Structure 1
């Protein structure tokens, strides 16, 4: 018989700190962005702040092939990616998400905008939804890599 877990924080592998923030215990290695086109990489990435007061941002993934095309004003598809994780894990900078979005950008030949949002339990729902809508309403008039 399984034992009932009374403490939801224990179940979620988080510890509530005295200041109201939480420490997450799942390992979450991060990958930094790589915007330098001189690097031998398949995808260029750049982080952009969307809302400083909420500390929300996005990571853009641009396939290198887009830079190697002749300038004929051809446009790439844009994919908005909202990561999973039950609104408590992970970050857009997480290596697993970075690698997934890089592969998607390369395989599909699209620009991928991986959107970060405030996480639970520090920021209760609907904060993540509000952040997603804020990203999509064009808080930044132009998003460019370079």
Structure 2
């Protein structure tokens, strides 16, 4: 009879058949170095493509936003210029109305002549759309 020794390799627990049972799921085998590198490369390529797509998308959005902002700035500037022109035209109109309404009865002859010339300029501008100073005497205002 044989005695069971603890150093013996014939032990039923040390048998490879006992540990590799077809009913027990085995843990997945570790991936090899080559396969790991290939997998990393494929992943990084996909990541790079996604990153480039995201950069392109954000750049196009930024360009679109900048164009809208430029359009709004241009519209705001045009409105401001138009408002300034209207204010300037109103100032000119107000000055012309004051010139036309000026009472020259109490003025000296030189001052009266000056205001008559100014009235002629306003009349020429209104009648003939001329902005030049008066150098003709076509509206002689002797009766006033």
Both proteins in one fold, TM over 0.5: no
TM-score under structure 1 normalisation?
0.24
Structure scoring higher RCO (CA < 8 A, sep ≥ 6) equals 1
Structure with greater strand percent: 1
TM-score under structure 2 normalisation?
0.25
Structure with greater helix percent: 2
